[in-house]
Structure 1
Amino acid sequence: MKLLLFADLHLDTRFATAGPARRQALRDTLGHIVELAEAESVDAVLCAGDLYEHDRCSPGTARFLRDTFDCGVPVFLAPGNDDWYGVESVYQQVDWTPNVHVFASDSFTPVVLADGLTLWGAAHVGPGPTRNFLEGFAVNRSGVNLALCHGSAPDDVPITGLDHVFLGHVHTPDHAPHHTFPGNPDPLTPDETGERGAVICTVHDDGTVSREVFDVSASRSRGLVVEATEAFPLLDFDSVAAERTVRGQFVRDVLADPALDTALRSRVLTTGLRALEER
């Protein structure tokens, strides 16, 4: 069984710089993930939460998610604490295609992926801190048992009867014998460095998991991720453009320049705004 795991994409999140370009890059990263799943002929795509940000998610993003997941691969979604499952959530509002399964309970519920192979999933059903879904849980069936949820690293996976847990929430990848944090596939902050991406997990007959990481980040491929020393903190270009100030006019002019591509525009804006701050 071959599964593609990702988590913590955070669609529609706020960025310090180049907000519109970065948010579009996150969408494109999800497109890369689905393309990878189809190219590698995986048996299912798993998302371990924080797919989007509940308080900022737009109707356009909801439509984008539906269209993107309308693919030839089963998709399993386990809502996290930033994209929690509820009446007003995208998870309930979208008319998903039949290949999409959203886990809607705050306790593990099973889905049979294949004969002798069960995926248990759970959802955050409200805002707040992450929780330990494994606490008090015990597998009640034979075969290989996997789990999908959004939370902290568990120390007690084997005693639950689970063979492996696929997790979101921690943005730094962690590939342990009994759990996998894929990390966020597209860096959200300058200090999120190192190998990260979508993880193709091969589940073996004995319940062990082997993993291969694929770089799917649209932001990195377009040069949109700057080093920490270059970051311009707490600034969103589209917000600055609305200002009736010198820097607001500068941002409007740069954004309107058709000769600049996305990466160059971001560098011009960052350098120019830093220079204006130092005047």
Structure 2
Amino acid sequence: MKLLLFADLHLDTRFPSAGPVRRKALRDTLGRIVDLAQETGADAMLCAGDLYEHDRCSPSTAAFLRSSFDCSVPVYLAPGNDDWYGPQSVYQQVDWTPNVHVFSSESLTPVELADGVTLWGAAHLGPGPARDVLDGFAVTRGGVNLALGHGCAPGDVAITGLNHAFLGHVHTPEHAVNYTFPGNPDPLTPGETGERGAVLCTVHEDGSVSREVIDVSASRSLEWLDSETAFPLLDFDSVAAERTVRGQFVRDVLADADLDEAMRGRVLATGLRALEER
């Protein structure tokens, strides 16, 4: 059985590199993930939470998600602490196509992926810190048992009886014997480390999992943009002195201590280009 795993895409993100161009790139990344699931013949697509950000999610993002997941592959979604499940969440508001299953309980609940293969999933039901979704859980079924959730203590996997846990929240990828953190598939902050992308997981008959990381990031194609190539004649200090929207934008970017020089240049370039195109 082949499962395509991703997590922490953060559509409509709050992260420092956010802007119209970056937000579009994140949507394009999800499109690549869905295409990859179909091209590889994956038996299911799994999202381990923080698909979007509840407080920033727009109606157009909700419509985009419904359209994106209207595909030939079963989709299993485990809401995280940023895209938590509740009455006003996209998860409840959207009329999903029949191939989409949203886990809606704080407790791990089972669905059968195939004969002898069970996927247990759980949801966060409100904002706040990510919790240990495996706390107090024990497998009650035979066969191969897998879990999908956002946030946990990986050491718990071994004592639950699970063969493998597919987890979100930790943005640095980690591939262990009995759990996988795929990390965010598209860059969100400067200085990220680790091989990240969508993870094609092959589940073997004995419950062991082998993995292949596939780069799906649409944002990497923006990395050539910097302040010199995109705006060679523009004096950023002069723009920062303007009492305009773009002046405020440049001041905010120049003052952001979380950005290194390379990222600052890319944010300035893509953001100013987007403002020009309005």
Unaligned runs of 5+ in 2: 227-238, 251-264, 273-278
Please report the RMSD computed on the Cα atoms of aligned residues, expressed in angstroms: 2.5
Count of aligned pairs between the two proteins: 245
In structure 2, relative to structure 1, the CA distance for the partners of 1:17 and 1:66 (3 Å cut) is same
- How far has the Cα of 1:195 moved from its partner? 1.6
Give identity over the alignment, percent: 78
* TM-score, length of structure 2 as denominator length: 0.82
- How far has the Cα of 1:157 moved from its partner? 1.2
Question: Residue 213 of structure 2: SS of its match in structure 1?
Answer: strand
Is the CA contact 1:81–1:128 (under 8 Å) kept in the aligned structure 2?
yes
Letter in 2 for 1:248: G
Aligned counterpart, 2:183: 183
Aligned counterpart, 1:123: 123
* TM-score, length of structure 1 as denominator length: 0.82
Aligned counterpart, 1:155: 155
Letter in 2 for 1:5: L
Deviations 1:94-146 (A, max 9, x none): 00000000000000000000000000000000011111121111111100000
Letter in 2 for 1:34: V
Deviations 1:152-209 (A, max 9, x none): 3420212211100000000000000010000000010111134210000000000000
Is the CA contact 2:76–2:101 (under 8 Å) kept in the aligned structure 1?
yes
Question: Residue 55 of structure 1: SS of its match in structure 2?
Answer: helix
Letter in 1 for 2:201: C
In structure 2, relative to structure 1, the CA distance for the partners of 1:103 and 1:270 (3 Å cut) is same
Is the CA contact 2:12–2:57 (under 8 Å) kept in the aligned structure 1?
yes
Alignment of structure 1 residues 84-123 onto 2, 5 Å: 84-123=84-123
Aligned counterpart, 1:76: 76
Letter in 2 for 1:83: D
Question: Residue 155 of structure 2: SS of its match in structure 1?
Answer: coil
Q: Distance in 1 between matches of 2:88 and 2:248?
A: 38
Aligned counterpart, 2:247: 248
Q: Distance in 1 between matches of 2:245 and 2:110?
A: 58
Q: Distance in 1 between matches of 2:132 and 2:93?
A: 27
Is the CA contact 1:7–1:169 (under 8 Å) kept in the aligned structure 2?
yes
1:269 matched to 2:268? The reply is yes
Deviations 1:14-70 (A, max 9, x none): 343560000000000000000000000000000000000000000000000000000
1:140 matched to 2:146? The reply is no
Q: Distance in 2 between matches of 1:116 and 1:130?
A: 30
Aligned counterpart, 2:12: 12
Question: Residue 154 of structure 2: SS of its match in structure 1?
Answer: coil
Q: Distance in 2 between matches of 1:93 and 1:216?
A: 28
In structure 2, relative to structure 1, the CA distance for the partners of 1:72 and 1:272 (3 Å cut) is closer
